[in-house]
Homo-oligomer: A and B are copies of this chain.
Amino acid sequence: MTSTPLPSSLDPEIAARLKRSADGLVPAIAQQYDTGEVLMLGWMDDEALHRTLTTGRCTYWSRSRGEYWVKGDTSGHVQWVKSVALDCDADTVLVKVDQVGAACHTGARTCFDADVLLKNADSGVSSVDQ
């Protein structure tokens, strides 16, 4: 699943570990640092991760527009970076942020507020299995 990254200023030690999808990206989960809300999922290439680590602002690669996207630059809904972690496989990023206003372009606080497929499941009580 790993492709060759574009040249970037990302720390070579991190770049050497990063496992990218075929399009050179890793999914990046943005989580509100104090409430724990999962706000959104974006995509980062090496340079977006570098900018997220060094500028204090969460920066993604927009797959639809094919350009870097500093969250909040147009909306004002900035994500101030609090911490950044890679997962155990180095193929996913978790960014804890302080989200200004709505994370979602719809105006909702998070991108997961509007389309709930299942809620209040109580699966833990019984031993439901396939």
Chain A contact residues, CB within 8 Å of chain B: 1, 14, 21-22, 27, 29, 31, 35-38, 40-41, 51, 53, 55-57, 59, 63, 70, 80-90, 92, 94, 98, 104-106, 108, 111-121, 123-124, 126, 128-130
**Are A63 and B121 in contact, with the CB atoms below 8 A?**
no
**Supplied contacts A56-B128, A82-B120, A84-B119, 5 more A-B pairs, CB within 8 Å:** A29-B38, A35-B36, A57-B128, A81-B121, A83-B116
A43 to chain B minimum Cβ distance, whole angstroms, is 10
Whether B128 and A55, one on each chain, are in contact in the complex, defined by CB atoms closer than 8 angstroms, is yes
Q: Is the CB of B124 within 8 A of A80?
A: yes
11 sampled A-B residue pairs with Cβ under 8 A: A1-B63, A51-B130, A56-B124, A81-B123, A82-B124, A84-B116, A84-B119, A85-B117, A87-B112, A88-B114, A92-B112
